[in-house]
């Protein structure tokens, strides 16, 4: 039986506030040597990002609970599970990924049962997040703001790799930061950018308010990973 490693209970509150964070998307890892690639990238990681897609809500088919549980035994870094799944299976997926070792589970504002899902995540003792697709107004997050710990804005179409950053991404981040500042009552809610993360887009996303970026090929494909992450950490404050 493997022993799960976990971050400290206050891991989210303890995340850095003085630099841009690197949230590593395991979708971009070498999937044929996933354990080795996780261990290679782990020293540079603030949060591991695990995309889950059902082929319905999102066109992709991605990660599953048993694999997440195996990876959980290899690192104490936080696991952020991003559920891109249909309403009918959302609550069951929350239970399964909570048991597999997620520390934060994010659901989509576009899920009709998003409020119920956020309550279920909190009831499981986990941090809860909300994700907005490009077509969803940032204001849609306001009704959930008291029940989330992270707000992620997609900068590209859901579930498709290699797209360019949408021109609305930066203004939407600025709106999200303003919403969090106005409505969080001083409680930490991390604002994240996911999609279109490229060397030429990161400075603008950081300036617009991103506290963490979901890194795919920009990290996993870097010729010098240490230098790349040092560059990310050196981004001027949002």
224 catalytic per annotation: no
List all residues 6 or more positions away from 59 whose beta carbon is below 8 Å from its beta carbon.
53, 158, 159, 160
Q: What is the DSSP string of 73-104?
A: TT--S-EEEEEE--HHHHHHHHHHHHHHT-SE
Q: Which of 46, 54, 103, 194 is an active site residue?
A: 194
51 a catalytic residue: yes
**198 and 166 in contact (C-beta within 8 Å)?**
no
Contact 51/27 with Cβ under 8 angstroms? yes
| Angle in degrees, CA 37, 68, 151, rounded to 5 | 95
DSSP 42: G
Question: Which one of 18, 37, 51, 87 is the catalytic residue?
Answer: 51
Instruction: Specify burial of residue 115 (Cβ count, 10 A radius: 0-12, 13-18, 19+).
Output: middle
The catalytic residue positions are 51, 194
């Amino acid at each position: 039986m493997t022993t799960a490693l976990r971050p400290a209970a206050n891991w989210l509150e303890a995340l850095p506030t003085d630099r841009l964070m690197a949230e590593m998307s395991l979708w971009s890892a070498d999937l044929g040597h996933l354990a080795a690639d996780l261990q290679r990238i782990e020293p540079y990681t603030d949060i591991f990002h695990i995309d889950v897609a059902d082929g319905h809500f999102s066109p992709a088919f991605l990660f599953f609970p048993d694999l997440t549980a195996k990876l959980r035994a290899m690192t104490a870094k936080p696991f952020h599970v991003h559920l891109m799944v249909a309403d009918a299976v959302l609550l069951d997926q929350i239970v399964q990924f909570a048991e597999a070792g997620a520390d934060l589970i994010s659901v989509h504002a576009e899920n009709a049962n998003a409020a119920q899902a956020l309550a279920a995540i909190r009831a499981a003792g986990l941090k809860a997040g909300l994700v907005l697709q490009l077509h969803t107004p940032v204001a849609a997050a306001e009704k959930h703001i008291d029940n989330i710990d992270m707000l992620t804005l997609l900068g590209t179409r859901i579930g498709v790799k290699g797209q360019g950053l949408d021109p609305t991404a930066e203004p939407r981040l600025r709106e999200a930061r303003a919403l969090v500042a106005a409505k969080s009552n001083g409680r930490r809610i991390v604002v994240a950018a996911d999609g279109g993360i490229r060397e030429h887009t990161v400075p603008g996303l950081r300036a617009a308010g991103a506290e963490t970026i979901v890194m795919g090929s920009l990290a996993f494909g870097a010729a010098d990973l240490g230098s790349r992450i040092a560059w990310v950490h050196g981004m001027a404050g949002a």
